[in-house]
Chain A
């Protein structure tokens, strides 16, 4: 599977990272190198093998559904690049 410039541009948009047009070619080359290298996994017989989704054999714990934390908006917002009245400020989303 070869990644062309268009695919890299599409993936970059999905990842929300702006990539300049003149970088696409180099990036496509690097990503292709990595993808080509990982494709050797195709040699491994994985028929009937369950995917490993956790590094430990454990069941996720359940806890009581109650509020145990919160109520400190100043702390939560203290690192926001732009905040106002306990809200994060972002560019206009809805016209």
Chain B
């Protein structure tokens, strides 16, 4: 069994096609792994029967000589994607029991490519969080722990269940969504590759909306090659999403040539933040050396509005969320708490259905959009967002990609208190700028801190520069030779 679990997605694909293993065997191994790692709380809903059925169908397609790009590969689906006939909760009480009668475009694309669904992975409520602590369905434990310590650590968020599942080998890969860092930050905390593609590359149709101008789906995998394969299966034009971009999907795997000679890598000085641990600064410098050794040219660039990205995000995202979450009113789906009239029913339902962080963001969003404050907050933030996007456009005149750390720290304890919501928001300081500018960003596991916890480096590229990002990420992965293994892992 353990041999099957240690295969990368690319290797499993090749072995399935060569008929050295079957999709049913591989899927059974992962179903057993879900059992072994249940203590981590990676999944909100497990779907082993569905997985077995899908695996059987995959084996039939392989036998018929007609395998898809993800044929027979068992994956976790973040519980923000609506799945036909399978409960889809967004990590919220208000959607408990909600069973869509339709399938999100990205998940449908993956099933069409032959992927097998193991279950729906846990997440921060409505994808709002950096720790997975805000899920109504309980926190997720990071399979990594500090050397010599039993303290439970967070897997990051919001795609924390996906990250923990892939790291603990309870899924071969998983989908994530990223609004301000929700793929890249948990990938960094769990020693994985997490790739948020360009806004518009993957359809948002059928993904429970958080902040529509920022939300974007992407793969969470153990290797860069796996990321390339899975993104290829997820991406594509969708007429059902008005912001989906009508552009052919390249063969991303072909981009992994290993050759970045002459590529220009920009180092933005503004990403040196106060109180950044020395280890992260050192890892970043090491990343620069790796890029140089591979023949890239490293240049200093400036992204002067970086420090304003987080406050901009915390106006734009809550504003959009307050509007998107208006639909949860106890009428059409999910929870209803009765009241003496319609308004009271709305207010009771939403009070009982939303957790503290979601309530906070809906209130902030409502406030910044309300009469008299719209110009001062929301319009101002949209203008600063223009300047942040312009910073990147200017940088692309001097470099092909930007290299930064992914997070300002390694995974923190589940018991660490964040009385100040702003302190938690600072987790996304390095990931939010690319989100606001709509750019592709990948986190690659690049090293460990003094306690043996994974640390990631981030590569950001220009819009639709996924192939360049993946090519450099492959080189970074090779040079880093990340080999840490979590303390808790299915075997």
Contacts and interface: CB of A to CB of B under 8 A. Distances in A.
Interface of A: 1, 3, 7-8, 11-19, 27, 30-31, 33-35, 37-44, 46, 49-56, 58, 60-61, 63, 72, 75-76, 78-82, 88, 90-93
B296 interface: no
Given A14-B370, A17-B354, A81-B330, A41 B384 contact: yes
Given A41-B311, A54-B213, 19 more contacts: A1-B376, A7-B367, A11-B367, A18-B347, A38-B381, A39-B311, A44-B308, A44-B383, A52-B383, A52-B389, A54-B243, A61-B239, A75-B102, A76-B101, A79-B101, A79-B332, A79-B334, A81-B335, A93-B342
> Which of A14, A41, A55, A63 has the most chain B CB atoms closer than 10 A to its own CB?
A55
Contacts of A72: 101
A55 B308 contact: no
Contacts of B305: 44
A55 to B, nearest CB: 3
Given A40-B311, A79-B98, A50 B386 contact: yes
Contact of A55 (B366, B376, B438): B438
Nearest to B380: A41
B484 interface: no
B314 interface: yes
10 contacts: A1-B373, A11-B367, A30-B360, A33-B422, A38-B314, A41-B308, A41-B311, A50-B383, A52-B383, A56-B463
B436 to A, nearest CB: 8
B363 A15 contact: yes
Given A30-B421, A49-B386, A56 B438 contact: yes
B99 A49 contact: no
Contact of B360 (A3, A31, A38, A92): A31
A56 B243 contact: yes
Given A16-B347, A49-B387, A54-B243, A31 B367 contact: yes
B305 to A, nearest CB: 7
B130 to A, nearest CB: 15
10 nearest A-B pairs in the assembled complex, by CB-CB distance: A55-B438, A51-B382, A79-B333, A46-B383, A55-B199, A81-B336, A18-B347, A18-B351, A38-B311, A52-B385
Contact of A37 (B311, B332, B384): B311
A9 to B, nearest CB: 11
- Give the interface residue-count category, chain B: 35 or more
B362 interface: yes
Contacts of B359: 17, 19
A34 B332 contact: no
A33 B424 CA distance: 13
Interface in B300-333: 305, 308, 311-312, 314-315, 322, 326, 329-333
Nearest to B305: A44
Contacts of B322: 15
Contacts of B383: 44, 46, 49-52
Interface in B342-364: 342-348, 350-351, 354, 359-360, 362-364
A60 B244 CA distance: 10
A31 B381 CA distance: 17
A15 B350 contact: yes
